[in-house]
């Protein structure tokens, strides 16, 4: 297992096997941080680690299901015991499945909330004690424009969960601020990922979205990763409780 450089931060990124999570893991690693790449997609997560190491970065993979409190606590305990701390958490793991209201069962609703909202809460709760003791730490949670401004047809469960992330960010930020821990969020617009093209929008819908985005393109995972890296950096040292919309001008262009 790769040991982090002594001067690096220890960063956990969830859902880092693909998409925004993968780009974010690479962004932190390129800045010299040691990244714990977590996902339930073991092959993809391992590939992210390999790519980081091939580029000269420092990373390790940990299988992690954000639905499990026991797994969350074990992950944080293990990292803190081996590395001494967790400096940054990027709570990115999420799902989005198109489901008409009439077919939206309790189980599907609960699954979306368990991953997209409660998964963030579990990890924040687990890392908070250590961050508070050290009086330093940054948590960045992924919301969505569907959680801050849009209602999304046949995605009631997703919009509701991502709205919940906004409230979670604000509540955590206020509770942890005096102890030196910052909590912020990012609300991506239409981003070219497997989540948008395969699960929800579909490739045709994704391409059509570019027509009404003022910047005339879908975002890339790297567009989001760079903003996440900023929020976790000292450049954002006086920011907490904020959810930054990164959408190519979509919201301001349509409202």
In 3D, which of 25, 21, 7 has the Cα closest to residue 188? 21
CATH number of this structure's domain 10-248: 3.40.50.720
Tens digit of each residue's pLDDT (9 = 90 or more) over 163-200: 999 999 999 999 999 999 999 999 999 999 765 555 55
Tens digit of each residue's pLDDT (9 = 90 or more) over 191-217: 997 655 555 566 677 778 888 999 999
Q: What is the largest CA-CA distance in the chain?
A: 54
Residues annotated as catalytic are 158
User: Residues 22, 80: contact at Cβ < 8 Å?
Assistant: no
pTM of the model: 0.94
**Res 207: pLDDT:** 72
Distances (CA, A) of 218 to 178, 246, 250: 38, 11, 10
Task: Tell me the C-alpha distance between 83 and 136, whole Å.
Answer: 15
**Res 193: pLDDT:** 78
pLDDT by position in tens, the chain (length 255): 556 655 589 999 999 999 999 999 999 999 999 999 999 999 999 999 999 999 999 999 999 999 999 999 999 999 999 999 999 999 999 999 999 999 999 999 999 999 999 999 999 999 999 999 999 999 999 999 999 998 889 999 999 999 999 999 999 999 999 999 999 999 999 999 765 555 556 667 777 888 899 999 999 999 999 999 999 999 999 999 999 999 999 999 975
The radius of gyration computed from the CA coordinates of the chain, to the nearest angstrom, equals 17
Q: Which residue has the tokens 């890296």?
A: 229
What is the layout of strands, in order, in the sheet containing 243-246? 58-63, 34-39, 10-13, 88-91, 137-142, 181-188, 243-246
User: Residues 92, 195: contact at Cβ < 8 Å?
Assistant: no
**Tokens describing residue 201:** 């929008």
* DSSP state letter for 5: P
User: Residues 130, 181: contact at Cβ < 8 Å?
Assistant: no
**Res 136: pLDDT:** 98
**Res 90: pLDDT:** 99
**Res 209: pLDDT:** 83
């Amino acid at each position: 297992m790769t040991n982090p450089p002594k001067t690096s931060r220890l960063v956990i990124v969830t859902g880092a096997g693909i998409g925004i999570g993968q780009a974010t893991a690479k962004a932190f690693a390129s800045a010299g941080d040691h990244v714990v790449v977590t996902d339930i997609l073991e092959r993809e997560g391992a590939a992210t680690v390999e790519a980081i190491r091939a580029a000269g970065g420092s990373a390790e993979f940990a299988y992690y299901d954000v639905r499990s409190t026991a797994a969350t606590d074990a992950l944080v305990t293990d990292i803190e015991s081996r590395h001494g701390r967790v400096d940054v958490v990027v709570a990115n793991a999420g799902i989005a499945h198109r489901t008409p209201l009439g077919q939206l069962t309790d189980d599907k609703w609960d699954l979306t909330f368990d991953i997209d909202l409660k998964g963030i809460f579990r990890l924040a709760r687990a890392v908070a004690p250590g961050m508070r003791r050290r009086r330093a730490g940054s948590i960045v949670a992924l919301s969505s424009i569907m959680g801050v401004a849009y209602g999304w047809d046949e995605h009631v469960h997703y919009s509701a969960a991502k709205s919940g992330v906004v409230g979670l960010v604000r509540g955590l930020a206020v509770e942890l601020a005096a102890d030196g821990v910052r909590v912020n969020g990012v609300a991506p617009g239409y981003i070219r990922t497997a989540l948008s093209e395969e699960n929800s929008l579909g490739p045709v819908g994704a391409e059509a979205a570019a027509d009404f985005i003022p910047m005339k393109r879908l975002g890339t995972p790297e567009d989001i990763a760079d903003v996440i890296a900023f929020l976790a950096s000292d450049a954002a040292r006086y920011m907490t409780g904020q959810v930054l919309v990164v959408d190519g001008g979509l919201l301001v262009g349509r409202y």
